[in-house]
Amino acid sequence: MDRKARLIGASIVLLAIVARVAAVLILRTHEVPRSTYEHGEIAANLLAGKGFAIAFLGGDGPTSQQAPIYPVVVAAAYAIGGVETPRALLILELSQAILGGVLVWGVIRLAQQIAPGRPGVAVVAGLLAALHPTLVYAATHVQVAGLGATLLVWTLVWANQAGASSRAMDAAIAGGFLAATALTDPILALAGLGMAWAYWQACGDLGRAFRLLACTLAAALIGIAPWLVRNYRVHGEFVAIKSTFGYAFWQGNGRLSEGTDKVRRASAAVAIREGSDGPLSALNRGLWRARHIAGYIDDIALTAEDKRALGRVSEPERSRILFRRALNDLKVDPWRYPRLCLRRLRYFVFFDETNPKTWTLLYRVPHVGLTMLAIAGLILADRATRRRLLPTLAVAAAIAVFHALTIVSARFHIPIEPLMAIWAGAGLSRRMLRPARTSSAARPHHVERVGIEGGLECLDVGRLD
């Protein structure tokens, strides 16, 4: 990479950090009460000496309701600024603003790997990832999505690096990133599909690709093994990082569910309107009030007796009980499940209509805009670049299908948005940054001689954008 490209990349990374710091200071989410959810409760219990614990579905104690990495990050902020204090949350959010710069750096690196010799792809992708409102807004939340998106991108960066070098060490590093990604959000371990594809695409033969994948999976298993052992000791059975698949499936498919974990309430719109005439911080507070008013499906679908009964069994068994309940609800109307899956896919591609935070045009316009740009980029990209994008498309498709089959939320879309920025850059940079064509009065044989004598090996217009 030449000095100019490094300077441009560093400027985009700095822009991403500045945009997120500005969002943190303007929206002032760190002053919003009840904004930490499960991560904050687990973090507080960690500092209180109670371990990785939470009150969940009628029980209170050691839990696998969340993956471990992000609550530990929140606990670190609490240790510095005080448990659930605005100061601690400000420290956390400003740290996440810096993490946004790391995310954009990863996007630039991944774009350079996918489209080598075409710096315009990295520039467009980096700018989109730096300024896309959803990715900027994520820094203002105590939410795992921003960290998950960053780790997902860097996992794919190292997968491409390992495929290009064929070195076991690079594959092991990629496996370490895959483990960290899984321990942040297990669903994002679906990145393994894209990694396998990237290895096969880069190596050209199954044997070498298989060896790299074996190194990656071995390193990933070593990385998650301590947490699996801990889960077995806590629950007395194997738990694959989180214990909540059945619970989440019930939230998305139970009798009263609309396909998400939220409840649609008309009163939530009132809270949004109350803050819409003020500054952005007032609108943000209105969105948070609306989110709290909407609540969770648990609030209307679980009785006090349900919670007492669930509290008498182990945490994994609670999840299995709710999974069976959801299946029984779906048997009443066999066509309801396919309808919910299609609805969730629509919510994932466009917006979750049960989440008050997605009701505003400030969310919907950028979200749909990025989707359109990504589609346009895929259409306009040259064939070779589109082929190298296939592993990222496989990862995004796997994540989308998983959520369509189980449960969906706006935050689940965030990890694929950096990949969408790269798709957009792959095609749009050909149109936006293509140098002007100029005619030449020289005869063809003269142009050829100049090229040879000047040491030019090729003239590829597609590589100049």
How confident is the model over 123-155, as pLDDT tens digits? 999 999 999 999 999 999 999 999 999 999 999
* CA 88/CA 20 separation, integer angstroms: 17
- φ/ψ (deg, to 5) at 142: -85, 85
DSSP string, 272-333: HHHHTTS-HHHHHHHHHHHHHHH-BTHHHH--HHHHHHHHTS-HHHHHHHHHHHHHHHHHHS
Q: Which residue has the higher pLDDT, 453 or 360?
A: 360
pLDDT band with cut points at 50, 70 and 90 for residue 210:
very high
Span 370-378, mean pLDDT? 96
φ and ψ at residue 245, rounded to 5 degrees:
-60, -50
Half-sphere exposure of 447 (CA within 13 A, CB side): 8
Q: Given pLDDT bands bounded at 50, 70 and 90, which one contains residue 435?
A: very low
Residue 109: predicted pLDDT: 97
Q: For residue 202, give every residue at least 6 positions away whose Cβ sits within 8 Å of its Cβ, in sequence order, or none.
A: 160, 163, 164, 166, 209
Interior/surface letters 181-202, b for 16+ CB within 10 angstroms, e for the rest: bbbbbbbbbbbbebbbbbbbeb
How much is the average pLDDT of 407-422?
A: 95
229 compared with 451, residue with greater pLDDT: 229
Secondary element (H or E) of residue 78: helix 69-81
Terminal C-alpha separation, the chain: 15
> What mean pLDDT, rounded, does the chain reach?
89
Indicate yes or no: pTM above 0.85. Answer: yes
Handedness of CA 403, 252, 367, 143 (dihedral sign): negative
Nearest one of 407, 432, 422, 379 to 132, comparing CA atoms: 422
User: Residue 461's pLDDT is what?
Assistant: 36
Q: What does the DSSP assignment read for 142-202?
A: S-SHHHHHHHHHHHHHHHHHHHHH--HHHHHHHHHHHHHHHTT-GGGGGHHHHHHHHHHHH
What are the angstrom distances between the C-alpha of 15 and each of 12, 104, 129? Answer: 5, 10, 10
Mean pLDDT, residues 202-225: 93
Mean pLDDT (whole number) for 46-74: 95
Mean pLDDT of 296-302: 89
- pLDDT band of 239, cuts 50, 70, 90: very high
Average of pLDDT values for 376-389?
Answer: 94
pLDDT tens, residue by residue, 316-330 = 999 999 999 999 999
237 phi, psi to nearest 5 deg? -160, 165
Average pLDDT over residues 399-422: 96
Return the pLDDT at 289.
80
Q: What is the pLDDT of residue 223?
A: 97
Residue 33 has phi, psi (to 5 degrees) of -70, 160
State how far the Cα of 171 lies from the Cα of 162, in Å rounded to an integer.
5
CA 130, 133, 139, 144 torsion-angle sign: negative
Decide if pLDDT at 268 tops 80.
Answer: no
Helices 304-311, 315-332: crossing angle, 10 deg rounding? 130
Which range, 222-231, 301-310, 351-360, is most confident?
222-231
pLDDT at 417: 97
